[in-house]
């Protein structure tokens, strides 16, 4: 039996980052992975979807070349080539993780890992051979998968999840997307841009329901403008797959209607991968599909830890990475502070993009806070107008008394790269006046942040 200081179960952006940081801190480290290094994010999520979305964006540019004084004739797409490019990007990133494992002298153990009592993990390889490993510290980072609803049993052909949506052999002529979170909206945008007729069905009153209501409403307008049909406060109660395509029965306030399409994409959230990994062998406590941990990701059983989607925090790649680093630094007796889950940025990569951090206006008012709210539209931004991307705005929320930056919400081109300013500023407890006096470069999209802050304090110049 091989002995390690740290064993990480799962190699997603939580797992492989954790393993690298552990190795950097001098721990003899191993990582166990049953599929490809990089997990869902690198292979079936964050990275390949961005490749698909970039192809959609370029296709859109070509179709609207005249808007930029250019001419592009006979513009068309090769759907298979678009998918192949996406897969190539994912494979390249996975190989990059392989390189990082070698560089950091981390032992990669291929196979399915099952936790055992006594700080041990049993790994079954592709040939069915089982090998047992031990470690002083075992970190669970097994992630999550597409959640299935009883009314939407995925068959991988007519009712699909995100993995199938990335690798369809043929582009569907029509699609129903159930769920309007980041996954649903990104695929809705991609397929619509490629020419598929898309209908989005959302159970709650607003699409992207975790976002500020102003953001949700603006995105709905933008998506409808691009031809996407949106049904909110609606529920798919059943799907008939007996014919050539599908017939989805949708219940709304007005009654029931049937939508016919080629395929249904179920994007109704995620289900954690905590079954059959041996939690019961060890006695690790769970609640509502999540592994219970303390502020430093220790479970109730000494020597066992959990990070990422399997824990109660936000199910985001950057959260998993941050949790993993914090976890091993605590193991190494470094001085660390618990993660501030109120300052986690969220991003959705449709067009226009969405990025946000902190409280929404509604949440701030529900807390009874006296607030200042500022908005600045990209239609008043010289850079946005020159780039042909005037849709959207920046919205900021400040505490009226102390100037604390309570929330920042953006919708527009490139805002997923801009949100970091607000995250860092909030981390440093920067006030609105300090943002106003920090000179922002002109012409840039980021000027809109300063202008939105100025609007909150009745000092806006360009609006």
Binding residues for FAD: 50, 113, 309
Supply 12's token pair.
């997603």
* Residues of the binding site: 50, 113, 179-186, 202, 269, 309
Tokens linked to 157: 């052909």
Q: Find the farthest-apart pair of alpha carbons in the chain and give their distance in angstroms, rounded.
A: 69
For 31: left if phi > 0, alpha if psi spans -120 to 50, otherwise beta; the answer is beta
Nearest CA among 425, 418, 355, 337 for reference residue 381: 418
Quote the radius of gyration of the chain (alpha carbons, Å).
Answer: 24
Bridge partners of 276, per DSSP, are none
How far is residue 129 CA from its own chain's centroid? 35
SS3 content of the chain, % helix, strand, coil (to 5): 35, 25, 40
Q: How far is CA 78 from the centre of its chain?
A: 27
- Per the annotation, binding residues for NAD(+) are 179-186, 202, 269
CB 82 within 8 A of CB 5: no
Q: What is the three-class DSSP state of 246?
A: strand
Q: Which residues are catalytic?
A: 442
Pairing of strands 174-178, 197-201: parallel
- Number of helices and strands (H, E) in the chain? 15, 24
Specify which residues 236 forms β-bridges with.
250
The 3 state secondary structure assigned to 278-316 is CHHHHCCCEECCEECCCCCCECCCCCEEECHHHCCCCCC
Written as six digits, the tokens of 179 are: 């769920």
In angstroms, the Cα distances linking 317 to 88, 162, 310, 347 are 20, 16, 12, 11
């Amino acid at each position: 039996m091989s002995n390690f200081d740290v064993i990480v179960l799962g190699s997603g952006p939580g797992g492989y980052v954790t393993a690298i940081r552990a190795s950097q801190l001098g721990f003899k480290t191993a990582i166990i992975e049953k599929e490809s290094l990089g997990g869902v994010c690198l292979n079936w999520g964050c990275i390949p979807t961005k490749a698909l979305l970039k192809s959609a964006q370029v296709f859109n540019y070509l179709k609207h070349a005249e808007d930029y004084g250019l001419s592009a004739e006979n513009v068309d797409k090769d759907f298979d080539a678009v998918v192949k490019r996406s897969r190539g990007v994912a494979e390249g990133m996975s190989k990059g993780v392989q390189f990082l494992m070698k560089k950091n002298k981390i032992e990669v153990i291929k196979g399915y890992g099952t936790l055992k009592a006594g700080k041990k993990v049993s790994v079954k390889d592709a040939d069915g051979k089982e090998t047992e490993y031990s470690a002083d510290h075992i970190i669970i980072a097994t992630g999550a998968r597409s959640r299935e609803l009883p009314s939407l049993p995925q068959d991988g052909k007519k009712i699909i999840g995100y993995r199938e949506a990335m690798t369809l052999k043929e582009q569907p002529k029509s699609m129903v997307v159930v769920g309007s979170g980041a996954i649903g909206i990104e695929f809705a945008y991609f397929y619509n841009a490629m020419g598929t007729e898309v209908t989005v069905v959302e159970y709650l009153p607003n699409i992207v329901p975790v976002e500020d209501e102003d953001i949700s409403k603006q995105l709905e307008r933008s998506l409808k403008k691009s031809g996407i049909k949106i049904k909110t406060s609606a529920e798919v109660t059943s799907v008939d797959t007996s014919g050539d395509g599908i017939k989805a029965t949708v219940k709304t306030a007005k009654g029931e209607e049937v939508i016919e399409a080629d395929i249904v994409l179920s994007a109704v959230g995620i289900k954690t991968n905590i079954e059959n990994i041996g939690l019961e062998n060890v006695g690790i406590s769970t609640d509502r599909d999540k592994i219970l941990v303390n502020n430093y990701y220790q479970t109730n059983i000494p020597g066992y830890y959990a990070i990422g989607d399997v824990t109660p925090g936000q199910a985001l790649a950057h959260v998993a990475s941050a949790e993993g680093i914090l976890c091993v630094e605590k193991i190494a007796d470094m001085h660390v502070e618990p993660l501030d889950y109120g300052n986690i940025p969220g991003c959705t990569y449709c067009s226009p993009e969405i990025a946000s951090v902190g409280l929404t206006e509604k949440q701030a008012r529900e807390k009874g806070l006296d607030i200042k709210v500022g908005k600045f539209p990209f239609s008043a931004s010289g850079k946005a107008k020159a780039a042909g991307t005037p849709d959207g705005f920046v919205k900021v929320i400040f505490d009226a008394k102390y100037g604390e930056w309570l929330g920042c919400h953006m919708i527009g081109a490139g805002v997923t790269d801009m949100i970091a300013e607000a995250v860092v500023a909030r981390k440093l407890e920067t006030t609105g006046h300090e943002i106003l006096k920090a000179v922002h470069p002109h012409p840039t999209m980021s000027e809109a942040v300063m202008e939105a802050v100025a609007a909150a304090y009745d000092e806006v110049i360009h609006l």
